[in-house]
A and B are shown apart, each in its own frame.
Chain A
């Protein structure tokens, strides 16, 4: 059992803030308390596994794939066509009929609808510390605003840092959130043109979405074709979206 005093000492031990007397007291408690000893042993070994970020990222990605697969098989179960086949065939026929009539009378789905379906705001820049931007405290502040969905303030700060591609990318995304799509396109074009930064792939994807939103389907298609023919993270989504635009 680890009591409150032990917890307090353990916290100090982990933080490295114990004075000599407290440290002596804590060492005695470790001898008396096997559970505390175990905890201290583990606390001392945590840094090594957590430093192997490459393995951790691999685990996370595999888990995501597994989760996705698991939820889609659940979905498949619920939408199974094995029960009441006649009703399902009739329903499927009806859906195809409605789909066909929509295609004939409306052309491809409306840009706004597709935009809403595919658009997800990019996650704020927090973890990639090796990138050139992390030392800039204004950028950090802007990211806080961005995280808090305060896009007016994130855009205000980022607008003064457009030499930095990360800042320009998040400025474009802030503009998208503020529904200023022409401005977003302007910045995203600059980010995608500069092939040496980490945000090129993401910028391409958001640029295609901006084109869709403004109804510029030809440009959207050509941007998506570039993405679908590369090793881009958004490759699968691009193919999917292209199919819907065709």
Chain B
């Protein structure tokens, strides 16, 4: 597999380049997986945190140019750790468990305040997005067209259905998304 420089990787994240994302996944996901597994998480937990880290890096890069003093993999791994710690803290608050393991992560947050800022700014938005991508393709398309201010008439035309069906479906899709978000254990911590 082709190797990419840090600059190419950051550009590839912004342009959603499949080859770069394949490279990021195959090179760095195993490291995130082993970290999360060693802290009691499973493969899907690891992927959630890994995906979140890459999205946070995108949002950080969009704000201002990012100059890294370390390798991209090291940086990504730090972001993974911070997000994991953050989620663990939320879990612990919810479950009222006082653990000692959090102390070992305390120094990580000093690494880059830029991404922490992006992370906190986009936390609610990212939380909703994580659920959005699990809706059916039809719902995603419909809500996307709706957000883009495409008229109901035009959506109906594009999808080959009636306008009343579009309205009904749009409501159902929004409700599905809202239900998914509310059912997530992290919802109360973040939104209430």
Contacts and interface: CB of A to CB of B under 8 A. Distances in A.
A48 B125 contact: yes
A231 B4 CA distance: 13
B59 interface: yes
Nearest to A59: B133
B143 A50 contact: yes
Contacts of B141: 126-127
B158 A126 contact: yes
Contacts of A49: 124-129, 132
A231 B126 contact: no
Summarize B's interface: helix, strand, loop or mixed. helix
Contacts of A149: none
A41 B174 contact: no
Contact of A51 (B16, B133, B147): B147
B55 interface: yes
Contacts of A54: 14, 16, 58, 62
Contact of B129 (A14, A52, A126): A52
Contacts of A231: 17, 19
Summarize A's interface: helix, strand, loop or mixed. helix
Contact of B25 (A39, A62, A140): A62
A57 interface: yes
B16 A129 contact: no
Contacts of A65: 21-22, 25
Interface stretch (B34-42, B88-96, B176-184): B176-184
A236 B2 CA distance: 11
B13 interface: yes
B21 A144 contact: no
A131 interface: no
A11 B13 contact: no
B35 to A, nearest CB: 16
A180 to B, nearest CB: 25
Interface in B113-159: 122, 124-130, 132-133, 141, 143-145, 147-148, 150, 154, 157-158
A56 interface: yes
Interface string A202-239: 00000000000000000000000000000101011000
B160 A148 contact: yes
A7 to B, nearest CB: 8
Given A43-B174, A61-B16, A231-B19, 18 more contacts: A14-B174, A42-B178, A45-B124, A49-B128, A49-B132, A50-B128, A52-B122, A53-B144, A54-B16, A56-B129, A56-B132, A61-B18, A62-B25, A65-B21, A66-B47, A126-B141, A126-B158, A140-B157
Interface of B: 13-14, 16-19, 21-22, 25-26, 29, 47, 50-51, 54-55, 58-59, 62, 122, 124-130, 132-133, 141, 143-145, 147-148, 150, 154, 157-158, 160, 167, 171, 174-175, 177-178, 181-182, 191-192
18 contacts: A38-B182, A39-B178, A43-B178, A48-B125, A49-B124, A52-B125, A55-B58, A55-B59, A56-B129, A56-B133, A58-B16, A59-B129, A62-B25, A65-B21, A65-B25, A129-B145, A129-B150, A143-B158
